[in-house]
Structure 1
Amino acid sequence: MRPARPAVRFHSSRTVDFVVVGSGAAGGIIAKELATAGLTVVVLEQGPRVEPPQFEHDEIKTLFQGALQINPTGFTFRRSESETAKPGQIQLLYHRLVGGGSVMFTANYWRFREIDFIEKSRLGAISGTGLEDWPITYRDLEPYYTKAEWELGISGEPGPFDPPRTRPYPLPPLPVKSSGVLFERGARALGLHPQPAPLAILSQPFHGRPACQHCGYCLGFGCEFRAKSSTLYTVIPIAEATGRCEVRPNSYVRR
């Protein structure tokens, strides 16, 4: 079951071990790791705390009016300092709320492949770029991929071109539905072999959270069923349950 969230509130004069800026895919996980290791943590999140039933299936408000985005009034762009910045034609999905982008993203959850860490060695230098090999390899990172998949709840199955893994996905892939069925039929008609994408969405109940209800509101929307494996529903509750982590919403960090 999801751990109950105690009302942890550190006094403003208290010194804590760590201050984490942001509560998304990076900040939320870091907060959990620190708090469960016995350290005190304050997480500063510029957005509000939004939980069910506050998530809405309102496409106009969410996608076009920029609700819960970092800059709800819209972003402006220019190609050089001599130009006047003008509003963009589409909203950039940088969200501000507890859980950050992990609450609103489409939930695709691929691993990098082995070659992705050594592209310069394989492809050679590319003029005009800063292409370099990573200082670590896929083998170095693989245990952490596995840890994240099993703690967060990832649904999928290994494909023929996937890198090696030490454990399978914790959950089977979600069923192919709607337009995915047509895509799959077309791909097979062309002699291709479609593979379900790994998703940070539960295909079965997992760690006290229910499975996906297939409402279709994933990209740009929070999941009121708690089936999307965002930090809001996974690691942040664990961090808070230790009594050593406080998440402070509506806390904007300037420097």
Structure 2
Amino acid sequence: MSDFDVVVIGSGAGGGVAAWAFAEQGKRVLVVDRGKDYPPGWVGRDLLRNHRFSRYGHNTGPEIEGNPRVFVAPDGTETVVKPHDGGYQNNAMAVGGGTRVYGAQAWRFHPLDFQMATTYGVPEGSSLADWPFDYAELAPYYEEIEWEMGVSGSPPASNMPVRRDYPMEPLPATYRTGPLSKAATEKGWAHQRVPLLINSRRYGGRGACIGGQTCVGFGCVMEAKAGTQNTVLPKMLAHPGCDLWAETRVTRLLTDSGGRVTGVQVIRDGQMQEVMADVVVFALGAIETPRLLLQTQTAREPHGIGNNGDWVGRNLQGHFYPGALGVFDNLVADLVGPGPTVAITEFNHGNHGIVGGGMLADDFISLPAAFARDAPAQVPRFGAGLKEWMRENYRRSFHIFGPTQDIPNPECRVTLSATVRDSIGLPVAQLQGTTHPETVRTALFMRDRAVEWLQATGAREVHPRPVGLGMSAGQHQAGTCRMAARPEDGVVDHQGRVWGHDNLLVCDASVHVTNGGFNPVLTVMATALRSARLFS
């Protein structure tokens, strides 16, 4: 007899929602997460060690020591990187995952995001493909998540899908809301208030946002930010037979002699044990999910579970964030958080000569250290000159930027390092690959639109952000166990089941065929909910 009906590995956006959905069906669910279960109201407010500015560390797991990754440069040079290094492509490891510290932008993908190959063709050197279902299939799950988790926002822009109103009105306007909206209207650009998984009033038993200045990268003292740890996971745990094991590490899948998945092997309280389950759900993120699949090798699948087609770990993608800094004569920053208020959706698709596009919005309140880091090139990097510029311009400037379509590249991938091990002796994730040229073209196009918007808003100086060429996984990591209509084209089927395994699901952004031109968390949640419901 199994110990649980369902074991879910990971408690973030996808894992938390999937666990709740299975518990609602009467299943005995165990959620396993390697991170800590921080108390309600936890913030982690170290301004130099957080998921917004991590030069000296961060405020959640993984621990800096004992959890390296290997980054392979285009010339083949290998570098061992720690969790707070840029090349690590880190996401928060804690109960609630990235939803504890995210910016909580709650965008649906555009309908064309599900049909990119049909719309644009397949660029040379890319693995661009359509999703195996369309926007209409996911729409009811989007709506359920918006109301279950709690989204604040306004009616959609004219070029976005019509939907039911959000359960909450948008957060209060700030100094820059009016000027940004006015400039967008004058230019004829489709725009709207930014939807957020943040309470604008009391909702779901949680308080309203108080406008704190440390939002993205930190926890929420009011619990106004909807993470899985304060929404669906408590509901899951209220069901009989359900449990959550924090600070517990899954080391491999268990399989029987025929290769069928039967459970997981874990390290809990320093002891190795086996947990038997009828169904196993992977939701570790688009780097750790393929890593664990590749670590479990059987006679039937010698290169890793689900990897007979050599797709596991490929197509690693995320988002570039092109944009610009605008400096104004007047005060434009009232320092009321979280920050984003107005978004341009005009350029997500339909841009001549561009594959896809993206969204632009005003940024979160800048941490002082980040503001110094992002100062224009002519500003001194340290000393009195830098301090004077910061004092003069901190409240007279803000950034405009946003996510762009990242065209998938099969050579941008996660593999296992042949030489580097973690603290428990397992091969670490090795990351390699470069950005597709179409992604760079799109990023440059969107950067020009950010400059144009800031100029129209009245900025006296506009400083474009550099556009890099490295991989863009990070907190928006996706694509490494892509959905496909046929096993030869991907890792999971249209329901999220690993091909060849009817009781093994992937419920995180690994399954994304493309990652949209918007923040992906709402799509992660909606897709996980759909997979769990269809499985039953």
Whether contact under 8 Å (2:70, 2:78) holds in the other structure is no
Q: Residue 241 of structure 1 is aligned with which of 238, 241, 246?
A: 238
Matched ranges for 1:25-64 at <5 A: 25-62=13-50, 63-64=53-54
Map Cα deviations across residues 175-201 of structure 1 (whole Å, 9 max, x no partner). Answer: 232555564455456565642111110
User: 1: CA distance between counterparts of 2:49 and 2:4?
Assistant: 38
AA in 2 matched with 1:70: P
Q: 1:31 to 1:86 in 2, by over 3 A?
A: closer
Q: In structure 2, the residue corresponding to 1:85 is in which secondary structure?
A: strand
Counterpart-to-counterpart distance in 1, 2:86 and 2:135: 38
The 8 Å contact of residues 31 and 245 in structure 1, kept in 2 or not, is answered as: no
Instruction: Please state whether the residue corresponding to 2:237 is helix, strand or coil.
Output: helix
Provide the residue aligned with 1:68 in structure 2. Answer: 60
SS of equivalent residue, structure 1 residue 254: strand
CA-CA distance at 1:51 after TM superposition: 2.1
CA RMSD of aligned residues (A): 2.4
Gapped regions of structure 2 (runs ≥ 5): 253-536
Q: Which moved more, 1:22-31 or 1:80-89?
A: 80-89
State the TM-score, normalizing by the size of structure 2. Answer: 0.42
Name the structure 1 match of 2:8. Answer: 20
1:42 partner SS: strand
Task: Tell me if the contact between 2:157 and 2:190 (Cα under 8 Å) persists in the aligned partners.
Answer: no
Instruction: Look up the match of 2:408.
Output: none
Distance 1:122 1:155, change over 3 A: same
Deviation string 1:26-80 (CA, Å, 9 cap, x unpaired) is 1101111111211101110000101234323221132321221335347663315
Q: Secondary structure at the match of 2:48?
A: helix
What is the rounded CA distance, in whole Å, between the counterparts of 1:183 and 1:58 in structure 2? 31
Contact 2:115 2:131 in 1 (8 A): yes
Contact 2:35 2:95 in 1 (8 A): yes
Q: CA deviation at 1:119?
A: 1.3
TM-score in terms of structure 1 length: 0.85
Number of the residue aligned with 1:164: 162
Q: Which runs of 5+ in 1 are unaligned?
A: 1-12
Over 3 Å counting, the alpha-carbon distance change for 1:140 and 1:214 in structure 2 is same
- The residue that corresponds to 1:77 in the other structure is 71
Q: C-alpha distance in 1, partners of 2:45/2:167?
A: 29
Aligned residues between the structures: 242
Of 130, 135, 145 in structure 2, the residue corresponding to residue 148 of structure 1 is 145
| Separation in structure 1 between the aligned mates of residue 91 and residue 215 of structure 2, nearest angstrom | 15
SS at match of 2:248: coil
Matching of residue 117 in structure 1 with residue 114 in structure 2 = yes
> Matched residues in 1 for 2:35 and 2:200: separation?
29
1:96 aligns with 2:93: yes
Say yes or no: does 1:216 pair with 2:213. yes
Measure the CA separation in 1 of the matches of 2:184 and 2:25: 47
Change (3 A) 1:57 1:186: farther
Provide closer, same or farther for how the CA distance between residues 117 and 42 of structure 1 changes in structure 2, counting only shifts above 3 A: same
**Is 1:226–2:223 an aligned residue pair?**
yes
Distance 2:142 2:113 in 1: 15
In percent, how many aligned pairs have the same letter? 33
SS of the equivalent of 2:117 reads helix
Is 2:42–2:220's contact at 8 Å kept on the other side of the alignment?
Answer: no
- CA positional deviation for 1:233: 0.8
2:200 alignment partner, one of 188, 199, 203: 203
Q: Which amino acid aligns with 2:195?
A: P
Give the distance between the partners of 2:59 and 2:171, measured in 1 at CA.
29
Residue type matched to 1:68 in 2? T
